Amino acid sequence: MDDSVRIEIEVTPEAASLLQDETRRRSVGRMISELVRHKQLDRHPLRRLFAEIKSDARAGGLTDEEVDAELKRHRAKRRR
């Protein structure tokens, strides 16, 4: 996102804490940019965005299996 612009948005304290991470913040920025574009989104924009996030995780040294395991743990926590 070389042409990105820094903005302020209101989020929950938990989200603010998580967004301290630069990689996560850039991923969220890409998601927001995609969601607010004026052009019509494809049928599954979240799939593409999750693929980008997974790609960033790979670039950081994580394997697909590690990412999938973390998502599984996160989902299990949310169901409690």
Angstrom distances, CA of residue 17 to CA of 12, 31, 55, 57, 68: 9, 18, 22, 19, 22
Q: How many residues does the chain have?
A: 80
Instruction: Give this prediction's pTM.
Output: 0.45
Tens digits of residue pLDDT in 14-59 = 999 999 999 999 989 888 887 777 555 556 777 777 788 888 888 8
What is the pLDDT at residue 24? Answer: 92
